[in-house]
Amino acid sequence: MKGSCDVDAGTTAAESSIPPLLEWKFSQVFGERAAGEEVQEVDIISAIEFDKSGDHLATGDRGGRVVLFERTDVRHHGFRKDLEKQDCPITRHPEFCYKTEFQSHEPEFDYLKSLEIEEKINKIKWCQTVNNSLFLLSTNHKTIKYWKVQEKKVKKFSETNIDTSENGSIASSSITATRFVPDGAYAERPHSHLSNEFSIPPGGSSLLRLPVVMSQETSLIPKCRRIYAHAHDYHINSISTNSDCETFISADDLRINLWNLEINNQSFNIVDVKPANMEDLTEVITSAEFHPTHCNLLAYSSSKGSVRLIDLRQSSLCDNHSKIFEEREAPGSRSFFTEIITSISDIKFAKDGRHLLSRDYMTLKLWDINMESGPVATFQVHEHLRPRLCDLYESDSIFDKFDCSLSGDGLHVTTGSYSNLFCVFGCVPGSNEATTLEASKNPMRLQVQNSKSARSMSSFTRGVRRGAESSSDSNGNSYDFTSKLLHLAWHPTENFIACAAMNSLYMYYA
């Protein structure tokens, strides 16, 4: 894969010496398909999210299911009480295990609009953990659900308490039958007066059979606490929880709504870009996210390649932005594909809250929210595909939406690409670090690091053609446009990346 890292002048996430290059190694894989195995559409992963502690990871798929993973390499994480009693191994990188899964959304049909609503999970966001219970939000195109996952003890029972005597006959037990008499008093009668159904079996007497508790197993029980529905006319593309732990936002193409977690029948429209005449529509909302520490700030991106920062304290309807971050178009560079490739598919705030990362089709851009003049760093991801934009348009690949993510320390950024590749860039001033790996059990077979010159990164991928949907550039590099790594997430505290390739979840550490 071809890539480059162009760092502009400015202040980035870390004003320190250039850190050493990260050496990425394979950690784990869940759900890897066998050679030639056909992947079901419903099993394709469509969302990935770590919680704030990094102890839990959630994935959603196109079948409407949410799968939870829990960290197991260190003690005292989450609600793993069973591990607290053991001497758990402490490794130098996170390790996760499967915990549970549940059906979050089902396919629906909107009879008023004659529209099918698929069950695909678009986004997952973690909420605050309370009393060892996990809370998270999940959404498909129209409906948001608030889930609580709690660890409970489930009792297991034996069939009955059948006891036998020494000679093998059924032990006797005294049973008294009752019946009503006309005056309302109770009368007792012996077994001989019972009906045939309750008669004493030959060779023994009747037995009162009661279940007996054999064991108490711990199990995770998911419960849908609230459903937030009927608030969006268009497909929901983003949800984001607020730092106040009380509210969250949901965004579709034209509107952003503010919700209270405790109220599911009312929301407040805080951004509305719908024009009076839909023929005058020039841009749509593509992503939205709350500031990590300031509950009054949020940012949203648009299909025109701009990111707007708004302050909820200024107005109840935030039609006017506080700041706008967009890069000026070079004279004479506009083409038929310009608006498509500049549309931003994802934005993420850095943990420090000062920097913002945006991903469009061609590049990653790192912004300083105190500087609107331009990005402080630009990372070329798909520049090598520019000569093939016409082919990508014909196959609809040009409309693919790739996620982006930042490391917890703000020193690195990552995003996905085709052929199940993902790229990691260093964003410290003076760093040209760029690494590309393939989502595979053996990532070392396709890993190139560069720390000298952006020009020498023209031969990142050296692969074999994978079929009719593959293509190659002038350098002979092969790209499979049917295998795309759209979703990935960086661990909040460690150099650890989880990424999805079709139905498989791969994890890497450095």
The answer, yes or no, to whether residue 497 has pLDDT greater than 70, is yes
pLDDT for position 202: 58
The answer, yes or no, to whether residue 496 has pLDDT greater than 90, is yes
The answer, yes or no, to whether residue 464 has pLDDT greater than 90, is no
pLDDT tens-digit readout, 356-382: 999 999 999 999 999 999 999 999 999
Q: What is the mean pLDDT of residues 459-483?
A: 50
Residue 112: pLDDT band (50, 70, 90) is confident
Summary count for the chain: helices (H), strands (E): 3, 36
pLDDT for position 377: 94
Q: Rounded to whole angstroms, what are the CA distances from 35 to 32, 39, 81, 444, 478?
A: 10, 11, 38, 19, 20
Decide which of 244 and 3 is more confident.
Answer: 244
Q: pTM for the whole thing?
A: 0.79
When computed from its CA atoms, the radius of gyration of the chain, rounded to whole angstroms, is 29
The answer, yes or no, to whether residue 30 has pLDDT greater than 50, is yes
The answer, yes or no, to whether residue 230 has pLDDT greater than 70, is yes
Minimum mean pLDDT among 9-18, 169-178, 180-189, 457-466: which range?
457-466
The answer, yes or no, to whether residue 169 has pLDDT greater than 60, is no
Q: Can you give the length of the chain in residues?
A: 510
pLDDT for position 391: 93
Residue 184: pLDDT band (50, 70, 90) is very low
pLDDT for position 93: 85
The answer, yes or no, to whether residue 6 has pLDDT greater than 90, is no
| Planar angle of CA 363, 286, 30, nearest 5 degrees | 70
Decide which of 63 and 196 is more confident.
Answer: 63
Q: What percent of the chain stands above pLDDT 70?
A: 75
Q: What is the mean pLDDT of residues 254-260?
A: 97
The answer, yes or no, to whether residue 203 has pLDDT greater than 90, is no
pLDDT for position 204: 53
The residue ranges of DSSP E strands in 31-64, in sequence order, are: 45-50, 56-61
pLDDT for position 473: 52
The answer, yes or no, to whether residue 129 has pLDDT greater than 50, is yes
Task: Measure the CA–CA gap between 373 and 181, rounded to whole angstroms.
Answer: 93
Residue 332: pLDDT band (50, 70, 90) is confident
The answer, yes or no, to whether residue 428 has pLDDT greater than 90, is no
Minimum mean pLDDT among 140-154, 342-356, 421-435, 442-456: which range?
442-456
Domains and CATH numbers, the chain: 4-64+109-131+230-509 (2.130.10.10)
pLDDT tens-digit readout, 37-67: 888 999 999 999 999 999 999 999 999 999 9
pLDDT tens-digit readout, 280-322: 999 999 999 999 999 999 999 999 999 999 999 988 888 888 9
Q: What is the mean pLDDT of residues 382-408?
A: 95
The answer, yes or no, to whether residue 199 has pLDDT greater than 80, is no
pLDDT for position 396: 95
* Structure token digits, residue 173: 């037990």
Q: What percent of the chain stands above pLDDT 90?
A: 60
The answer, yes or no, to whether residue 201 has pLDDT greater than 60, is no
Q: Rounded to whole angstroms, what are the CA distances from 226 to 64, 264, 285?
A: 17, 6, 26
Decide which of 206 and 138 is more confident.
Answer: 138
Q: What is the mean pLDDT of residues 389-400?
A: 95
104, 145 Cβ separation under 8 angstroms: yes
The answer, yes or no, to whether residue 171 has pLDDT greater than 50, is no
Minimum mean pLDDT among 121-125, 181-185, 415-419, 452-456: which range?
452-456
pLDDT for position 175: 41
138, 67 Cβ separation under 8 angstroms: no
Residues whose CB falls within 8 Å of the CB of residue 348, separated by 6 or more in sequence, listed in order: 289, 356, 357, 404, 405, 406
Minimum mean pLDDT among 28-42, 363-377, 408-422, 488-502: which range?
28-42
Burial environment of residue 123 by CB neighbours within 10 A (0 to 12, 13 to 18, 19 or more): buried
pLDDT for position 73: 84
Cβ atoms within 10 Å, residue 393: 15
Burial environment of residue 447 by CB neighbours within 10 A (0 to 12, 13 to 18, 19 or more): middle
Minimum mean pLDDT among 73-77, 365-369, 439-443, 478-482: which range?
73-77
Q: What is the mean pLDDT of residues 129-141?
A: 92
pLDDT for position 444: 47
pLDDT for position 38: 87
